[in-house]
Amino acid sequence: MRLRRADLFDPTGERFGIPTFPWRMAPDGYATRRQLRAAGLRPGGQQVAAQCLRPRRRRGPLVAYLYHIDQAKPVRPMTPARWTALAKANAARRVCPGCGRDAGYVIPASLGTCVPCAYPQGEAHGIAA
């Protein structure tokens, strides 16, 4: 189905089920999650109120879900316990499961271990031992 910009304007939601607008043409009062976060807000449990669509050639349209700004709630503040939990989680991402040392960087998921454990002979990126 080839969508044109005019096909994407459906403010009543008859065609797509929810109000739909062309990309970058959402009316005032709606915002995406990122826009809410930049304003210090969160959706706060509300359902998606509308969407913006942008036609793409191969894989279907790009979708941006929109929420009512007036129903959004303030972002919950970070408590000392949440900061501690976040620090522990980030520290755990730096510990190599192979040797148990702090690698000094986040262990790449593609390797699963630190670089010295993944390439014990110095074979990484053409380095010969």
If asked whether residues 36 and 86 sit together in one domain, one would say no
For residue 37, give its domain range. 5-74
pTM of the model: 0.67
pLDDT for position 54: 84
76: which residues sit within 8 A by CB, 6+ positions away? 42
If asked whether residues 61 and 116 sit together in one domain, one would say no
If asked whether residues 68 and 27 sit together in one domain, one would say yes
Please identify, among 74, 89, 116, the residue that sits at the C-terminal boundary of a domain: 74
Please report, as a single letter, which amino acid is at residue 113. Answer: T
Give the total number of structural domains in the chain: 2
pLDDT in tens, 31-80: 999 999 999 999 999 999 999 988 777 777 788 999 999 999 999 999 99
pLDDT for position 48: 94
If asked whether residues 56 and 91 sit together in one domain, one would say no
If asked whether residues 23 and 44 sit together in one domain, one would say yes
If asked whether residues 14 and 51 sit together in one domain, one would say yes
If asked whether residues 59 and 107 sit together in one domain, one would say no
